Structure 1
Amino acid sequence: MTNVLVPTVASSAGLLGGYYLARATGIRPLGAIGLAAGGGTAFKAWQNNRGTATAAALTAVYLGGFGYSHVLHKKIGAWPAVLSVTGTSAAASLLFGGPKKR
């Protein structure tokens, strides 16, 4: 069974790393690769821990945060926006994405 830190770290790395890759290289598809890799890894771990429905809901939080960061950056700046949505996604993962208690 996957521990709660695996999907949390994967989703955080996907959001932060994806943004950094896109920004540093100027090649947005590289950022999308990072986002997809982190999200895919997190989805599989969430699915192993809690099932497909919870994994889908947490992936919606992950992708929703990615989308919302584009809106939020106009108000608070790019890095603060990315950090905010990463924190939200990580908190959701920690709260709802860990192994089921037996």
Structure 2
Amino acid sequence: MTKIPSSLVAAGGLVGGYGVARWTGKRQLGGAVLAAAGTVAATQWQRRAGGRAAGALGAAYVAAFAGSHPLAKKVGAWPAVFGVAGAVALASWAVADRRG
């Protein structure tokens, strides 16, 4: 079985969570996708980089979700989501994925 890098899991959670919420009209369902991917990514961060790094990356994940809302008012929803997802993916790769 191929391991999916935590950077892709985290970015996929942000993009997938927004997409599910938008396409289904059910924000709670999008939130469930966001939370599930965040939980998987956090587990990977913990294993690969330790608790402090996992905490920092988890905070970045939540901040990206929250920050995408005001950013969307300036650049549009999808560009905001892709931008914050890319930032979280880069941070995740730098801190956890490139080590393994």
Aligned equivalent of 2:78: 79
Q: Structure 1 residue 98: deviation in Å?
A: 2.6
Q: Which residue of 2 aligns with 1:6?
A: 5
Residue 67 of structure 1 aligns to a residue whose secondary structure is helix
Q: Structure 2: any 5+ residue segments left out of the alignment?
A: none
TM-score by length of 2: 0.92
C-alpha displacement of 1:13:
1.1
Gaps of 5+ in 1: none
1:35-93 alpha-carbon deviations (Å, 9 max, x no partner): 00110000000000011110010011111000000010000000000000000000000
Instruction: Give distance in 2, aligned partners of 1:94 and 1:60.
Output: 15
How many positions carry a matched residue from both structures?
Answer: 99
Over the aligned positions, Cα root-mean-square deviation in angstroms equals 1.8
Q: Tell me the residue number matched to 1:91.
A: 90
- Identity among equivalent pairs (%): 43
Instruction: State the 4+ residue runs in structure 1 displaced beyond 6 angstroms.
Output: none
Asked if 2 retains the 8 angstrom alpha-carbon contact of 1:58 and 1:97, the reply is: no
Residue correspondence of structure 1 range 20-35 to structure 2 within 5 A: 20-35=19-34
Partner of 1:68: 67
Residue in structure 2 matched with residue 56 of structure 1 by the alignment: 55
